[in-house]
């Protein structure tokens, strides 16, 4: 439910836009520095949750993100309140950027959006 669609590639050189079913885009991450690539993936996640717009962080236009990610963003924002006051576990090393930290920051921030910015209901 709360996963980051911006995944660090196995080569630690790229970030991939992933919708849990398909890989849609490869965003070059630069040098082989896994911490920097992971920071980029988390920065993309934060920008995507904050505004839905990642254009300032990548050459990939936001309009090209798959529609399923727009729905997923609305679902995450709509459920952020369920994470407030909780601890989250993650595989990321403690010294590295992590999408769980982004989720907790947003969930515990009263100014953060707490309901979907788009409809998450399916229409026939």
Q: Enumerate the domain spans of the chain.
A: 6-107
Taking only the tens place, the pLDDT of each residue in 40-96 is: 889 889 989 988 878 777 766 554 677 888 889 999 999 999 999 999 888 888 888
Residue with the two structure tokens 């890989």: 23
Evaluated on CA atoms 62, 25, 57, 96, the torsion sign reads: positive
**% of the chain beyond a pLDDT of 70:** 73
Hey, which bits of 70-123 come out as E strands? none
Q: What is the pLDDT of residue 11?
A: 74
Q: Report pTM.
A: 0.78
Q: Which helix (H) or strand (E) holds 15?
A: strand 14-18
Q: What is the pLDDT of residue 121?
A: 42
């Amino acid at each position: 439910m709360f996963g980051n669609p911006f995944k660090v590639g196995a080569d630690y050189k790229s970030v991939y836009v992933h919708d849990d079913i398909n890989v849609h885009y490869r965003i070059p991450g630069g040098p082989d520095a896994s911490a920097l690539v992971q920071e980029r993936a988390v920065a993309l996640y934060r920008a995507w949750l904050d505004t839905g717009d990642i254009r300032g962080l990548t050459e990939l236009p936001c309009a090209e993100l798959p529609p399923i990610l727009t729905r997923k963003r609305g679902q995450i924002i709509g459920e952020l309140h369920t994470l407030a006051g909780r601890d989250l576990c993650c595989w990321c090393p403690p010294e590295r950027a992590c999408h769980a930290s982004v989720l907790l920051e947003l969930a515990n921030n009263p100014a953060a959006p707490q309901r979907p910015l788009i409809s998450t209901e399916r229409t026939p």
